[in-house]
Amino acid sequence: MTGVLLAAVKVAVAFGFLMGTVIVLVWAERRIVAFMQNRHGPNRAGPAGILQTAADGLKLFFKESMTPRKAEFALYIAAPVLAVVPALLVFAVIPVGAPITIGGVTYTLQVTDLDVGVLYVLAVSSLGVYAVTLAGWSSGSKYPLLGSVRAAAQMISYEAALGLALVPVIMFTGTTSLAEIVEAQGGTFGGGLPAWNLVLVPSFVIFLIAGFAETNRAPFDLVEAEQEIVGGYHTEYSGMRFAFFFLAEYINVFNMAALTTVFFLGGWHGPRFGPPAVEMALPVVWFLAKTWAIVFLFIWVRATLPRVRYDQLMAFGWKRLIPVSLVWIFLSMVAIGVRRFGLPWA
Amino acid sequence: MLNAYFGDYITVAVFMAVGALLVAGAIFASSLIAPRRPGGFKEVVYESGIEPIGGGWNQSHIRYYVFALLFLIFDVEAIFMFPWAIRLDFFAEAGLGITVLVEMIVFVVVLVLGLLYALAKGVLRWE
């Protein structure tokens, strides 16, 4: 019974955490991009404009949701739900902090730890393609259809690279559970550098680039290239239905940054000191600091790089990223083999 | 214990159900509160301000299916590699370290040949 109660509390906390994160994230992106472009950004609602996203959300809630005459209504209305649910599900396996002990009972700071965590993440995040495809097709409009076909091709192209980038990580740590991958990154290499998977630099770079493409962020935001295909797959959505596509997009950005932290930046590992309460809270602080650093990188890249052309996008994915990740898998196999079994001629 | 194993997945299922209900509920609640006056040009699809020309479901290029096929190959490949990568220690203890390593390298090389073939056939070209 306590198990059910605990699961319920975790689910509730996770939802609250994600909603709060998105509210801050959207505001942070608008403010940071604004400062990089020498303007102010939203600064009226609440202190420094931090309530702007909440205000926008409320406004969308009271707006009329229009439906195009030719839309396939059942699929049209299902698409926003299908967009948000996979985004939420990915977050369910991310460990946001070290296990904490209160009154002799240890709680993990993760909704649930699956043994096949990495496979689960890859599988669930692919489901997002359905939302995009169905939204574009069911709208019964030209530009959303074009946008969704583009999005589907882009997302599956870069997902292959995303999966391949994780093979060396799993070889290195010997587990697919996200909690154990973080656990394996504790300590240091010979007392100097922290033992993060960041030593697998090519994997990190491939994962990050594929992550930009997976979340449809600049410079790979062709899915919603305003100059070519209006708003992309969600052109015909308005009101609350549009708000959920927006929500899913930003949850995905946060998830991708959190996954980068878990796989490569040592998750919640970091110096721990101070009285027990502070010592217990520090891992969460480290995790959030690393994740937000990656989020900042996402925003920085968006403000800096121009959008790539479609043929460049596909050529980069298939002719650069995937061959490079295959070569890197080969090299890391040899390196890990030598490290474990010694030189073949020795 | 059976319960401990399925417990994790039941939590995931609950998470999914709660998420879907919240989103669907919010859309439904919004439809109750928000004004609703359908008709006229509101229901016409957006085409940059001009009246839409032709149907909504226009033809799109079939070349995209090639990516679906290629994706399937490379994603399944990655999934084959994950269990292999986890059991590396197990094989090493059984004295099969070098053998399984060479086997996986052969597997990857075969797939690289596949990608090179696709490249040579020109399916990865855009005009």
- Look up the ipTM and state it: 0.84
- B70 with B37, same domain: the answer is no
Higher pLDDT, A77 or B89: A77
Residue at B52 is within a domain: no
pLDDT of residue B62: 61
Judged by CB atoms closer than 8 Å, whether chains meet at A160 and B47 is answered as no
- Selecting from A70, A81, A157 the residue whose C-beta is nearest the C-beta of B56 gives A70
Instruction: Name the average pLDDT for chain A.
Output: 84
Search chain B and give the residue with CA nearest A119.
B79
Rounded CA separation A179/A190 (Å): 23
Q: What is the largest CA-CA distance in chain A?
A: 74
When pLDDT is cut at 50, 70 and 90, the band that residue A295 belongs to is very high
Reply yes or no on whether the pLDDT at A160 is more than 50.
yes
Per DSSP, the three-state class of A104 is coil
- B38 with B78, same domain: the answer is no
Reply yes or no on whether the pLDDT at A232 is more than 50.
yes
Reply yes or no on whether the pLDDT at A142 is more than 50.
yes
pLDDT of residue A208: 92
Across the range A122-128, mean pLDDT stands at 87
Residue at B7 is within a domain: yes
Tokens 């052309």 identify what position? A309
Number of domains in chain B: 2
Six-digit token string for A71: 């839309």
CB-based contact B55:A244 (threshold 8 Å): no
Interface test with A, best of B44, B61, B80, B88 (most A CBs within 10 A): B88
Across the range A202-226, mean pLDDT stands at 83
Q: Is the Cβ of A184 closer than 8 Å to some Cβ of chain B? A: no
Enclosing domain of residue B28: 2-43
Across the range A203-223, mean pLDDT stands at 86
Reply yes or no on whether the pLDDT at A346 is more than 60.
no
Search chain B and give the residue with CA nearest A333.
B101
- Selecting from B48, B56, B71 the residue whose C-beta is nearest the C-beta of A140 gives B56
Judged by CB atoms closer than 8 Å, whether chains meet at B74 and A142 is answered as no
Rounded CA separation B12/B25 (Å): 20
Contacts with A332 from chain B: Cβ below 8 Å: none
- B38 with B68, same domain: the answer is no
Cβ neighbours, 10 Å, residue B91? 18
CA distance A89 to chain B (A): 6
Which of A135-139, A286-290, B20-24, B86-90 has the least mean pLDDT? B86-90
Contacts with B8 from chain A: Cβ below 8 Å: 112-114
Reply yes or no on whether the pLDDT at A339 is more than 80.
no
pLDDT of residue A112: 80
Reply yes or no on whether the pLDDT at A294 is more than 90.
yes
Across the range A45-53, mean pLDDT stands at 85
pLDDT of residue B1: 43
- B68 with B105, same domain: the answer is yes
Which of A107-111, A341-345, B107-111 has the least mean pLDDT? A341-345
pLDDT of residue A2: 67
When pLDDT is cut at 50, 70 and 90, the band that residue A229 belongs to is low
- B35 with B80, same domain: the answer is no
- Selecting from B20, B37, B78 the residue whose C-beta is nearest the C-beta of A163 gives B78
Nearest to A264 by CA among A176, A126, A166: A166
Rounded CA separation A118/A197 (Å): 15
The amino acid that residue A265 corresponds to is L
pLDDT lower than 50: segments of chain B: 1
Reply yes or no on whether the pLDDT at A178 is more than 90.
no
pLDDT of residue A98: 80
Across the range A116-145, mean pLDDT stands at 85
Per DSSP, the three-state class of B104 is helix
pLDDT of residue B110: 86
- B108 with B68, same domain: the answer is yes
Which of A106-115, A197-206, A256-265, A327-336 has the least mean pLDDT? A106-115
pLDDT single digits (tens) A181-190:
888 888 777 7
Contacts with B55 from chain A: Cβ below 8 Å: 70
Residue at B9 is within a domain: yes
Span between the terminal Cα atoms of chain A, in Å: 58
- B28 with B68, same domain: the answer is no
Cβ neighbours, 10 Å, residue B34? 16
Rounded CA separation A53/A22 (Å): 8
Residue at B21 is within a domain: yes
Q: Is the Cβ of A141 closer than 8 Å to some Cβ of chain B? A: yes
Contacts with B9 from chain A: Cβ below 8 Å: 112, 114
- Selecting from B11, B78, B101 the residue whose C-beta is nearest the C-beta of A333 gives B101
Residue at B12 is within a domain: yes
Across the range A210-223, mean pLDDT stands at 83
Rounded CA separation A110/A99 (Å): 9
pLDDT of residue A225: 65
What's the sign of the alpha-carbon dihedral A138, A139, A142, A145? negative
Which of A41-55, A234-248, B24-38, B50-64 has the least mean pLDDT? B50-64
CA distance A206 to chain B (A): 14
Judged by CB atoms closer than 8 Å, whether chains meet at A244 and B15 is answered as no
